[in-house]
Amino acid sequence: MSLDEQRALVALACRVAAARRLVDGILGHLSLRVDDERLLIRCRSDTDTGVAFTRPADIRLIRFDGSAGAAGELDGYRVPNELPIHAETLLANPEYRAVAHLHPPAVVAADLTGITIRPIYGAYDIPGAWLARGGVPVYERAVLIRNSRLGKEMVAAMRGRPVVILRGHGITSAAASVQQAVLQAISVDALARMALTIVSADGALRDIADRDWDDLPDLGSGFTEAAWRHEVARVQPPGDDAERVAR
């Protein structure tokens, strides 16, 4: 995939996250590792109108230290204050190529309520159930993660898991692809919203039965691709050029 196609993919993923209400306004950003020294990341400009309206031009090539990854890349653009979220997460695990830092209200509310993300359902969302079974840890500081020290603290709190909740803040989701990073965030958000609904109805949260896991199979890459096509269709009209980066 060319650099321009990768920019278009990250921009599309930003719009998908906004359509799912995982971000609102101008806050939140996604990144994609290009090589050992550089990444593409959503940056801001004086014409920025918010994550829901991210353009490929808003996705800039930078180095892990925040400097321009090529001539002109930061002309008129500013890197996110929380670049260390992306840099430290990617540097800590070479298998990760993408990071989504998002602000889903339901996840923040569930954590502040004292709800732990648990596998409370199964076939309703099998990838989400398995994600919850492995655990979704919490970084307990509600700070702006604007330096390497705080970024490393957050990575330590992840404990090797792909998603971490940032208390009073949002989440960080890391994966081998930008599509998977966003789909993980959607699953965690769905689990949080379901838990909040149950608790608000005076219900009790219960994990699914141990015997059910044998019949909750890995649905494979085909399912992931289909799920992503659906997310793209929510934000792109049929026939739009962005469909070429849907997968």
Give dist(CA 171, CA 164) in Å, integer.
Answer: 6
Domain with 26, as residue range(s), is 3-234
Which residues does the annotation mark as catalytic? 82
Domain membership of residue 240 (yes or no) is: no
Domain membership of residue 147 (yes or no) is: yes
pLDDT confidence band for 239 (50 / 70 / 90):
low
pLDDT at position 242 is 47
What pTM value is reported for the model?
A: 0.94
pLDDT at position 240 is 52
Residue type for position 27: L
pLDDT at position 238 is 57
Tell me the per-residue pLDDT of 98-147, one tens digit each, with 9 for 90 and over: 999 999 999 999 999 999 999 999 999 999 999 999 999 999 999 999 99
Number of structural domains, the chain? 1
Domain membership of residue 111 (yes or no) is: yes
Tell me the per-residue pLDDT of 44-67, one tens digit each, with 9 for 90 and over: 999 999 999 999 999 999 999 999
42, 209 in Cβ contact below 8 A?
no
Q: Is pLDDT above 90 for 92? A: yes
Domain membership of residue 220 (yes or no) is: yes
Instruction: Please report, for the domain that includes residue 50, its CATH number.
Output: 3.40.225.10
208-242: buried (b, 16+ CB within 10 Å) or exposed (e) per residue? beeeeeeebeeeeeeebeebbeebbeebbeeeeeb
Domain membership of residue 60 (yes or no) is: yes
- ∠ Cα 135 187 165 (to 5°): 50
Domain membership of residue 246 (yes or no) is: no
Domain membership of residue 245 (yes or no) is: no
Domain membership of residue 241 (yes or no) is: no
Tell me the per-residue pLDDT of 199-213, one tens digit each, with 9 for 90 and over: 999 999 999 999 999
Give dist(CA 2, CA 8) in Å, integer.
Answer: 10
Q: Is pLDDT above 90 for 166? A: yes
Residues in the chain: 247
Q: Is pLDDT above 50 for 243? A: no
Give dist(CA 219, CA 227) in Å, integer.
Answer: 11
